[in-house]
Amino acid sequence: MNQNLKRIRELGGYAVTLTREEGLPTMVKRGAGFFRRRFLGKRARYLPKKEVLEAQRQKAKGEILPLVSVLVPLYNTPENYLRDLLDSLEGQTSPCWELCLADASDRDHPQVEEIVKSYQDSRIRYTRIENKGIAENTNQAAQLARGEYLALADHDDILAPHAIYMVQKAIQDRSGDFYYSDEALFSTSIQKPLVGHFKPDYAYDYLLCCNYICHLAVFRADLFREIGGERPECDGSQDHDLFLRLIEASGKAPVHIPHVLYYWRVHEGSTSGGVAAKEYVTQSAIKAISDHLERTGQKGRVEEGLFPSTYRVVWELEEEPLVSILIPNKDHIGELKKCLDSLRDNTNYKNWEGIIIENNSTDPLTFAYYHQLQDVYPNCRVVNYEGPFNFSAINNFGRKEAKGEYLLLLNNDVEAIDPDWLTEMVRQTSRPGVGCCGAMLYYPDDTIQHAGIITGLGGYAGHSHKYHKRGGSGYMFRAATVQDFSGVTAACLMVKASVYDEMGGLDEEFTVAFNDVDFCLRIRDAGYRVVWTPYATLYHYESKSRGSDEKDPAKLERFNGERKRLYDKHTREGILADPFYNPSLTKDREDFSESPDLRNLQEI
């Protein structure tokens, strides 16, 4: 296997390049015509059709578009990389751009300056500088900029031909201070990208864990200058730091442009830098995130995450508020006992009460078990719900019995396997702005049962990374970092009691299916965040091969009615368009693979 591609897969799609020392071949002048021949000779899967780009180029000539200044620090840049970058700017469908180059190359690399000057384009602005690191070199490039907006690019990467125009149209169409696009990684040609990074709309918790925004990032020039540009003390993670500070200063969520507008070149680099290089970047990222927490008044400790280039905030808990754990049950005392034993024996968080909501049990052994339950589990009790099974009504009834500041909806076939699971869920749910939190649930065979809910999968909703093996990073680290989702399963869902009451509890018209989806969507639409964490892990003994409701006419009728209600409440378009799931990813599976309609989705 190609080693670069292998590294991309291992790191969840990222390849971090820190050192780039390669010789410069003989100089050959190439311009926009070469760019169109080399990169647009045949259509790549992320590029619009050639005729679409040409039509866009003609249209852009007659439009008034904001000037975008692309900032690029140069350092001993190999000729082919530099020419590819310059050609990609020359080949833009929009003419309203400028390229600001700050060249910190060593004196024995005069070819860099010669190549730039050979282009003779007034939109290319160039200066020689002393090398003071990536952040300060970028700031020097910004001093050349005349544009209303600034964009960041690396000296060995390529902009898609429609990148500037798509950003300019987004600026005109959407009121924002900060914009970012999807991107792709390539080795030799953007016609053959190795992998696409199809990002969610703005996801704050994801950004705290890794710099998923990356490229192409475009923001207001005056905002960049207002915050003082990039900080040299965060070299190695200077963009991550910059993005957090831009968002703080703006007060607005960044705008996501769901098109591949940037191509990130993969070549030998950071892995040859060894542990020292990795430690340098890690400490810079920890500083960037820690400083953000301090500036925004949030209390937490930042540490390395589950995979390289990921991070975790361990949020500070000043006290342990009471958590009421609501567990519906009908017979099945074997599963219930395993669940309660794990709560008692494998939960470090001690301030909780268990409320078992009895519903229509018939086995005498169940009631015998209930009779001695409080002797075995002193902080648990049984309450009786009378009526036919209705998951929503049962939990709403249990809520009335709960005394806790936080509620945990928990299935009776769930077993805690991580002693800190409940502590982690309280940490996440107690944060300002968070409405509810979900956990990582595994099947007993150590494959993922639940890592967040994505609406629109299968037309309605599905589970992120379902059936993936335990221990993987998932798509772009999304199974290994705290995430923003539109929903989490009620098999293990923590919610502030005040938020539960504000929502009016679960909708009792959803008797079996989609009650958690509807509940979380209402929480999200009320302005709260729905968070999922991989740091709370439990087994869920739900069968992989359980029977389908389609075999029972009555159950099928009920299920179809609940599907219709989901659309009626949230609209079909609202369900299919999950802001935390990219439209270029498939809705037919739960594995984040590319949509079969990808090329059409990438059209303008």
Residue 587 CA to residue 18 CA, distance in Å, equals: 36
Give dist(CA 599, CA 604) in Å, integer.
10
pLDDT > 90 fraction of the chain, expressed in percent and rounded: 82
307 located within any domain: no
Which residues are paired to 439 by β-bridges? Answer: 533
What are the DSSP E strand ranges found in 15-116? 68-74, 97-103
Q: What is the pLDDT of residues 459-503, one digit of tens each?
A: 999 999 999 999 999 999 999 999 999 999 999 999 999 999 999
- Residue recorded with tokens 């006290």: 319
Q: Single out the residue of 466, 503, 412, 415 nearest to residue 593, CA to CA.
A: 466
Structure token pair of residue 334 = 């074997």
- Assess whether 424 and 551 both reside in one domain: yes
338 and 231 both lie in a single domain: no
Model confidence band, residue 33 (pLDDT cutoffs 50, 70, 90): very low
Residue type, 490: A
Cis bond leading into 293, ω under 30°?
Answer: no
| Rounded distance between C-alpha atoms, residue 318 and residue 258, angstroms | 40
| 48-100 confidence digits (pLDDT tens) | 999 999 999 999 998 999 999 999 999 999 999 999 999 999 999 999 999 99
Instruction: Indicate the residue among 269, 294, 313 that finishes a domain.
Output: 269
Asked if residue 345 belongs to a domain, the reply is yes
Q: Is residue 310 part of a domain?
A: no
Residues of the domain holding 58:
49-269
Distance CA 474, CA 513 (A): 26
Closest residue by Cα to residue 194 from 272, 264, 89: 264
Residue 10 backbone phi and psi in degrees, to 5: -65, -35
In a domain, 588, yes or no: no
Angle at CA of residue 305, ends 300 and 308, nearest 5°? 140
For residues 74 and 152, membership in a common domain is answered with yes
pLDDT for residue 268: 67
Angle (CA) 459 465 470, round 5°: 160
Residue 549 pLDDT: 55
Phi, psi of 190 (to 5 degrees): -70, -10
Q: How far apart are CA 302 and CA 318, in angstroms?
A: 17
- 502: amino acid identity, one letter: E
Decide which of 269, 294, 309 is a domain's last residue: 269
Confidence of residue 9 (pLDDT cuts 50, 70, 90): very low
Cβ atoms within 10 Å of 341's Cβ, excluding its own: 14
Cβ atoms of 602 and 47 within 8 Å: the answer is yes
In this structure, the answer to whether residues 231 and 361 fall within a common structural domain is no
The label of the residue with tokens 């001093």 reads 143
Residues 260 and 345 in one domain: no
In a domain, 194, yes or no: yes
Domain assignment of residue 595, yes or no:
no
- For residue 27, pLDDT over 60 is answered with no
Looking at the structure, tell me whether residues 236 and 351 fall in a common domain: no
pLDDT of residue 21: 25
Tally of structural domains, the chain: 2
Q: Which two tokens stand for residue 38?
A: 């080399």
CATH number at residue 550: 3.90.550.10
Residue 19 has pLDDT above 50, yes or no: no
Half-sphere exposure of 31 (CA within 13 A, CB side): 7
Output phi, psi for 212, to 5 deg: -75, -20
Tell me, yes or no, whether 218 and 329 share the same domain: no
What is the distance between the alpha carbons of residues 518 and 176, in angstroms, rounded to a whole number? Answer: 29
List, for residues 118-155, the tens digit of each pLDDT value.
Answer: 998 999 999 999 999 999 999 999 999 999 999 999 99
Q: Which is nearest to 76 in space by CA: 102, 99, 101, 106? A: 106
Write the DSSP assignment of 504-522 as a string of letters.
Answer: TSS-TT-SSSSHHHHHHHH
Most confident of 19-23, 41-45, 228-232, 266-270: 228-232
Confidence of residue 259 (pLDDT cuts 50, 70, 90): very high
User: In this structure, is residue 172 part of a structural domain?
Assistant: yes
Query: Are 342 and 482 within one domain?
Result: yes
In a shared domain, residues 263 and 333 = no
Q: Is the pLDDT of residue 8 over 80?
A: no
Torsion region of 61: left, alpha or beta (phi above 0 gives left; psi -120 to 50 gives alpha):
alpha
Report the pLDDT value the prediction gives residue 24, as an integer from 0 to 100.
22
Of 130, 117, 122, nearest to 98 by C-alpha is 122
- 192-217 tens-digit pLDDT: 888 899 999 999 999 999 999 999 99
Kindly report the pTM of this predicted structure: 0.90
Decide: residue 576, CB within 10 A, 0-12 exposed, 13-18 middle, 19+ buried.
middle
Q: pLDDT tens digits, residue range 524-552?
A: 999 999 999 999 999 999 865 444 555 67
Answer yes or no: do 381 and 264 share one domain. Answer: no
> Does any domain span residue 280?
no
- State the average pLDDT for the chain: 89
